[in-house]
Amino acid sequence: MAKAIRQINKSSPNPEEVQKESLANLLQAISANQDALMMTLDIIKGLHEMGVLEAAKSMLEQSEDIGAIAMKQANQPGVHNIIKNGMAAIQFAGSIHPEQLQAVLNGLNLGFERMLDVVQTGEQKGLFKLASSLREKEVLVSLTTLTEFLHGMGEAFKQENNKVHE
């Protein structure tokens, strides 16, 4: 009959063997990624030559002081308003359909071009010519659009005013 196993010998790896294996794995990874590593080293060299690395190191060394200054500045009332305004602007931009915004921006661009032409040429229209231009389709569309814009803006102001007085 076979003898019962009473003792289990655990073999722990030799630290030198572990180190050799780690170095072999590292060398293999370096050779496999040589181009990427060389590019990374070039980037780091450029950052060092520009002084960016030194500045980053100094910032890390003074991180507590910099953090305290940043927090002090972030607690200013103006910064709170900037953050709130930025969020409102992002929400507004997200609510506009891209096609609609593109149409408005194209109209602004063409309007600016025509306005600059008038400024450069010094052309001036008389009152009769200005009044007759109100019959032109493009001018009527723009005036109607502007009027509806003003109505919408007035409604928003009225709603906001009602919220304040409630």
Asked whether the beta carbons of 114 and 106 are under 8 A apart, the reply is no
Global pTM?
A: 0.46
If you search the block for the tokens 């308003």, which residue do you land on?
81
Helix (H) or strand (E) segment spanning residue 164: helix 137-165
Within its chain, how far is the Cα of 25 from the centroid? 39
pLDDT tens digits along 125-163: 889 988 999 999 999 999 999 999 999 999 999 998 888
Instruction: Please give the radius of gyration of the chain, using alpha carbons only, rounded to the nearest integer.
Output: 35
Domain ranges across the chain = 97-125, 126-166
pLDDT in tens, 94-119: 999 999 999 989 999 999 999 999 88
* pLDDT band per the 50, 70, 90 thresholds, residue 1: low
Upper half-sphere CA count for residue 111 (Cβ side, 13 Å): 9
- For the cut 70, the answer to whether the pLDDT of residue 27 exceeds it is yes
